[in-house]
Structure 1
């Protein structure tokens, strides 16, 4: 039994990822501006020499929370820049970017079914958790 435990420990030690940082490079910060008004309004912006950038503006939200919007970007391994714009508020975090995959549009027949269901729901139709109609539309 002890031999099995010893072999398992040895195998996990050999299999662990080996991280080697040869010649780590210092990345200079080109810009770092921060403003905090103390009333929930703030702004910060920073940029590094390797292309990382972020700009965020925050203000008190309508329902007592915080609302923020801004943008950030960073270089990808292929040399292109990934650019993002976002809003974070009472509706959650919403980000937009050309690098975020988007779903394919619904086929025409599926879009028709969704529109039909919305029309039925607007007329008072209801369904149970199994999808069976429990209230007829009038």
Structure 2
């Protein structure tokens, strides 16, 4: 009886064993496009003073150039340069930049530009108009008296001049 149980267990293990099928690994692919030749590759520096420049151009119309040098007492590098390439539709893309103490400033016709902002009102026009208080009017005299007009011909309140 024990031998029948052992034989059944061995048959179950043999049936559960892998059958030798493996998923084939895909063949590696290298590259993906044509080889583009490098036409110009000129690199200089940084030299003992920190100056550098480089320029390269490829056979498909990509170019990049940059030059830089330390500026100021701290020696922060200010650089300028640019790059260009051709879009698949044949139109050119040209960018230039300056990076210095004022930050990175790219320039190109392809960069987005913000909408023009509406004119800002001057500080004077933002203040409410100064209102002059209305002059105090002397009430009319009681009906039937005319002596008031003879002695006080002024109808607006005013301060008397001092002598």
Q: What band does the TM-score fall into relative to the shorter chain? A: 0.5 to 0.7
Stretches of structure 2 lacking an aligned partner (at least 5 in a row)? 1-28, 127-163
TM-score normalised by structure 1 residue count: 0.61
Runs of 5+ consecutive residues of structure 1 not aligned to the other structure: 1-19, 121-138
Cα distance in 1, alignment partners of residues 102 and 60 from structure 2: 33
CA distance in 2, matches of 1:78, 1:38: 44
In structure 1, C-alpha distance between the alignment counterparts of 2:60 and 2:32, rounded to whole Å:
16
The answer to whether 1:101 aligns with 2:112 is yes
Question: What is the deviation of 1:104?
Answer: 2.3
The structure with the largest helix share of the pair is 1
* Larger strand share, 1 or 2: 1
Question: Which among 120, 130, 133 is matched to residue 112 of structure 1?
Answer: 120
Matched residues, number = 95
Aligned residue in 2 for 1:124: none
Counterpart in 2 of 1:53? Answer: 63
Q: Flag the structure with more relative contact order, 1 or 2, with Cα contacts below 8 A and sequence separation at least 6.
A: 1
Moved over 6 A (4+): none
1:26 aligns with 2:42: no
What is the RMSD computed on CA atoms of the aligned residues?
2.3
